[in-house]
Amino acid sequence: MLTWRRALVRTRLYHRIARGLRRREFEPFVQPIMDLRTGQCAGAEILMRWAHPQRGIVGPAEFIEEAERTGLIVGMSDLVMTRAAHRLAPIAVRYPDLYFSFNLTPLQLAQPQLPRRLEEIFTDDTIARDRVLLELTEREFVDPLALNRITTLQSNGWRVAIDDFGTGHSSLASLERMTIDRLKIDRAFVSTIRDETVSRPVLDSIIDLADRLRLPMIAEGVETQAQWDYLADRGVQYAQGYLIGRPMPITAFVEWLARQDQLTPSSVPAVVPGIAGDANIPDVAAQRLWNALRTPGGLDIRDRMFHLRTYTNCFVGREAVDWIVQHQRVSRADAVRMGQHLSALGLLSHVVDEHDFEDAELFYRLATPRDAGVALGPSAAGLSALLRGPQGVSVTQHTRGLLRHGDCATGKAIVTWIATSLRVSRDTATRLALQLMREGAIRHVYDDKPFTDSRALYRVV
């Protein structure tokens, strides 16, 4: 029976997860899946992590059950899938043979909007449908209603895998009638592979069964070389587990793949258009757009008021869509997708982290170059440090009318300083100052005026 104390703990957990979702704290991690025959990476499973602001990275054991019970899983999964699809897109281009698998819980499968959401998330611009594998547990394959939904997904071109195989009650008969893409042997069976073993016959019979059904297998939880060898000897095709790699952030996966390339020089092309040589994420096209948005002529970035609160240096989603439509000559829907792509890459974010990018009157911020992990243009690099340094622009007290402003400089003075220090024209200097302002290095004394080459006063922050 559920005691009041447990009920209280659950309610608290529910509210904490819901808040985490509002703040968009759920992130995709990935774990590689290896081909046991070639020793090369065949794909990756996307696993959800809670990037908790106080506790750090939290695994699903603490929240998945409650999220599923309360329905929060639907939104969480949508967020994680969308982020993964965008962030993995450059990897999908660079490694055309990899597939990516995503977990679906019974509740998600029961959502009428699932087919449409999958189509929206997985496109040729992110990860094409035929490279997505949907993992469903064995339970779903025995429930007639769920089975129906699975076959509909399959007829729409989605590939499916049976997850945690061996822990449920699927009958051979129900599997025989279906075309399933992969069968994942549960870790419990793989862990029986030790020196002396009790229940290995179960594992062997699962392998036989899958063989008879001509179903490629993925062994889960492979932790030792002995397990790898045993499975490879018996013709199991794929393996996933700590021996190969733990679930990791996507950036780490990029590095992991690059190391694999060095170990096994393969046919992978060195550079694919749109992808930088080393750090592939965020991708270059997105960086270009992000740069264009933040340079002069880009977005109107300034402080905004809402409900008496001031949000510094932000822009409006709808205006950004307008800008992208006009300057990139794309449809509105594509412009929104481009914005969402930037958001998934962490190049822009909602002011209070509640929304991904939307075509709406919502406020967003562009990541600073440091957050985004990209360098400023060479001429602007270090400029803000110089500006603040001992040889920097001199800041003094100014009086305007009856008001006194300490430690600031006029726009004119800043432009003159940049123009002489960098030996550039006044025009270029103004543009650079504007860029610095967008990055938050210069602020108007009232925080409400864009940069101009005038007597207006600014602070160097």
Running DSSP on this structure, what letter comes out for residue 377?
P
Name the token pair of 185: 């042997």
Answer yes or no whether residue 362 interacts with ligand C2E by CB under 6 A: no
Binds ligand C2E (CB under 6 A): choice among 39, 53, 59, 96: 59
How near is the Cβ of 247 to ligand C2E at its closest, in Å? 5
**Which CB sits closer to ligand C2E, 138 or 453?**
138
Binds Ca ion (CB under 5 A): choice among 78, 138, 163, 283: 163
Contacts of 92 (CB under 8 A, 6+ apart): 98, 100, 126, 127, 128, 131
Shortest-Cβ-distance residue relative to ligand C2E: 241
Of 32, 30, 34, 31, the closest CA to residue 236 belongs to 34
Residues 34-53, interacting with ligand C2E (CB under 6 A): 47-48
Residues 256-275, interacting with ligand C2E (CB under 6 A): none
Contact status, residue 177 vs residue 148, Cβ threshold 8 Å: no
91 makes contact, choosing from Ca ion, ligand C2E, none, with CB < 5 to 8 Å by partner type, with none
Answer yes or no whether residue 164 interacts with ligand C2E by CB under 6 A: yes
Q: Phi/psi at 411 (nearest 5 deg)?
A: -55, -45
CA distance linking residue 16 with residue 363, whole number of Å: 24
How near is the Cβ of 113 to ligand C2E at its closest, in Å? 16
Of 337, 335, 341, 367, the closest CA to residue 353 belongs to 367
Of 224, 257, 230, 217, the closest CA to residue 243 belongs to 224
How near is the Cβ of 370 to ligand C2E at its closest, in Å? 29
72 makes contact, choosing from Ca ion, ligand C2E, none, with CB < 5 to 8 Å by partner type, with none
CA distance linking residue 20 with residue 450, whole number of Å: 35
**Which CB sits closer to ligand C2E, 242 or 306?**
242
Contact status, residue 331 vs residue 1, Cβ threshold 8 Å: no
221 makes contact, choosing from ligand C2E, Ca ion, none, with CB < 5 to 8 Å by partner type, with ligand C2E
**Which CB sits closer to Ca ion, 136 or 362?**
136
Of 358, 348, 349, 218, the closest CA to residue 287 belongs to 348
Residues touching ligand C2E, count (CB under 6 A):
25
Question: Tokens 């210069």 — which residue?
Answer: 442
Distances (CA, A) of 422 to 66, 140, 217, 419, 427: 58, 66, 62, 6, 12
H or E stretch covering 207: helix 200-212
β-bridge pairing 56-58 and 26-35 = unpaired
Residues 80-139, interacting with ligand C2E (CB under 6 A): 80, 103-105, 135
Contact status, residue 238 vs residue 219, Cβ threshold 8 Å: yes
Stretch that binds Ca ion, among 36-44, 156-164, 168-176, 413-421 (CB under 5 A): 156-164
**Which CB sits closer to ligand C2E, 79 or 281?**
79
What is residue 58's three-state secondary structure? strand
105 makes contact, choosing from Ca ion, ligand C2E, none, with CB < 5 to 8 Å by partner type, with ligand C2E
Contact status, residue 458 vs residue 393, Cβ threshold 8 Å: no
CA distance linking residue 44 with residue 46, whole number of Å: 6
Contact status, residue 74 vs residue 111, Cβ threshold 8 Å: yes
Name the token pair of 37: 């025959």
Stretch that binds ligand C2E, among 50-58, 175-183, 240-248, 262-270 (CB under 6 A): 240-248
User: How many residues does this entry show for the chain?
Assistant: 461
Binds Ca ion (CB under 5 A): choice among 27, 78, 135, 138: 135
Stretch that binds ligand C2E, among 59-67, 255-263, 388-396, 448-456 (CB under 6 A): 59-67
Residues in contact with Ca ion, shown as a per-residue x/- string from 214 to 233 under the rule CB under 5 A: ------x-------------
**Which CB sits closer to Ca ion, 140 or 163?**
163
Residues 295-334, interacting with ligand C2E (CB under 6 A): none
Q: Phi/psi at 272 (nearest 5 deg)?
A: -110, 140
Answer yes or no whether residue 166 interacts with ligand C2E by CB under 6 A: no
Binds ligand C2E (CB under 6 A): choice among 37, 38, 242, 354: 242
How near is the Cβ of 83 to ligand C2E at its closest, in Å? 10
Query: What angle is formed at CA 364 by the lines to CA 55 and CA 316, rounded to 5 degrees?
Result: 160
Binds Ca ion (CB under 5 A): choice among 143, 164, 303, 358: 164
- Amino acid found at 201: P
Residues at the site binding ligand C2E, with contacts judged by CB under 6 A: 31, 47-48, 59-61, 64, 73, 77, 80, 103-105, 135, 163-164, 187, 220-223, 240-242, 247
Chain residues in the site for Ca ion (CB under 5 A): 103, 135, 163-164, 220
